[in-house]
Amino acid sequence: MPAFKTLDDFDLSGKRVLVRADLNVPVADGKVTDATRIERLVPTIREIIKVDGKAIILSHFGRPKGKVDPEFSLEQVVQSVAEETGHPVGFVETDWVDVSKAKQAIDEAPAGSILVLENTRFHPGEEANDLELAKRMAELGDIYVNDAFSAAHRAHASTEAIARLLPSAAGRSMEQELRALEQGLGAPERPVIAIVGGAKVSTKLDLLENLISKVDALVIGGAMANTFLHAGGLGVGKSLAEKDLADTANRIREKADQAHCAIILPIDATVAWHFEANAPHRFYGVDAMDPEGMILDVGPGSIERIKAAIDEARTVVWNGPLGAFEMQPFDHGTVEIARYVAQRTKAGKVVSVAGGGDTVAALAHAGVKDQFSYVSTAGGAFLEWMEGKALPGVEALKG
């Protein structure tokens, strides 16, 4: 594990604790529609306030482009934070140019308070990782806790610069995420199988290149599998495929061979002639594709092949659906494999780690989001971790 401190390393009693959270949650008509990220923040907040510390929450929300914009005020999520923590929550306005009023509000708040500060992106220095802005933020607290893994891939004032100005620690959610990811790829129990799906090879080149050096088998699904099938000389009809990346796909396969990483591609497919839910469809072997058809999901033979690979694994890492999971019946492959991984996880046969926006939605659709060992809600940060990149918000906590 990386050497970072946690809440266990600090006496939080009576301290002003700046907590970098990710309150960038979906809101409709002034109401939070998915409070998952807020729920994961609760353990850290409760540990602070139970010893009369003040939990002072920093977060971005939307893209106000460095200007004060009421549309992106964090005031609209305060009620949801109060509901999830079961505790009153105050809101502190600031434009981040002058923080004197914020400092006064924090000083006057009673011990054990929870306060949400205004959107950090209301100041252009946030996304510029401006040291002067970070210093103003640091004036408001005694200890800095980063509990926003989903924002850890950004070197911003509230995620990177401030961590170097105050005694710093990972919050409980960040700590849990980093330990889960270490189990997934850092020091996993082998064999390790990665399942990677989605539409485009071009958006996941770094991911594929990193994984083939770290896993024992790599299942490639979704439309990106079509690119590999095409590169292997197979017809993919009118399926979505990046045919200009055939050489790239073949290079990845060669590197996988050299790394002794098995590439598992579909051997059959669910094919339709219209891209719509419940479109007429049939199964084809990938060596006998209808030139007028579109591959919209893996076929039954491929599902069994993937299950057999999972049976051999001790660790499963997943990013991206295996087909057009948002439309029935082309969700079948993704749902079937998701439920199988969940079943193997429950039986104690595998450690399963999944993440990425579409992946979380797919696992929720399959009804197994809570049955994996760990499901990351951090889209970009999870992907960059899978790509093997250093995350500034994590690196700043080390040492």
Q: What is the 3-state composition of the chain as percent helix, strand, coil, each rounded to the nearest 5?
A: 40, 20, 40
Catalytic residue flag (residue 37): yes
d(CA 295, CA 129): 44
Beta carbons within 8 Å of 213's beta carbon, 6+ residues apart: 259, 261
Q: Which of 46, 164, 200, 339 is catalytic?
A: 200
Angstrom distance (rounded) from CA 308 to CA 321: 18
Residue 380: active-site member? yes
Phi and psi torsions of 317, nearest 5°? -120, 130
Q: Please state, in angstroms and as integers, the Cα–Cα distance from residue 236 to each residue in 41, 119, 243, 246, following that order.
A: 45, 47, 10, 13
Exposure class string for 73-110: b at 16+ Cβ within 10 A, else e:
bbebbbebbbebbebebbbbebebeebeebbebbeebe
Instruction: List the catalytic residue out of 62, 232, 235, 357.
Output: 357
Strands of 262-264's sheet in order across: 262-264, 217-220, 192-196, 315-319, 351-355, 374-376
Q: Given the structure tokens 């104690």, which residue do they identify?
A: 348
Spatial CB neighbours of 16, under 8 Å, sequence gap ≥ 6: 53, 54, 56, 106, 140, 141, 142, 143
Q: At 95, is the secondary structure helix, strand, or coil?
A: coil
Peptide bond into 300 cis (omega under 30): no
Q: Which amino acid is at 82?
A: A
Tokens of 194: 């990665």
**DSSP category for residue 171:** -
What Cα–Cα distance (Å) separates residue 64 from each residue in 53, 202, 258?
Answer: 31, 29, 47
Backbone angles phi, psi at 198, to 5 degrees: 115, -175
Q: Are residues 152 and 177 in contact, defined by beta-carbon separation less than 8 angstroms?
A: no
The catalytically annotated residue of 15, 16, 37, 214 is 37
> What is the side-by-side strand order in the sheet with 281-285?
281-285, 268-272, 294-298
> Considering just the CA atoms, what is the radius of gyration of the chain in Å?
23
Set 62, 186, 235, 380: catalytic member: 380
Per DSSP, the three-state class of 99 is coil
**Catalytic residue numbers, as ranges:** 37, 200, 357, 380
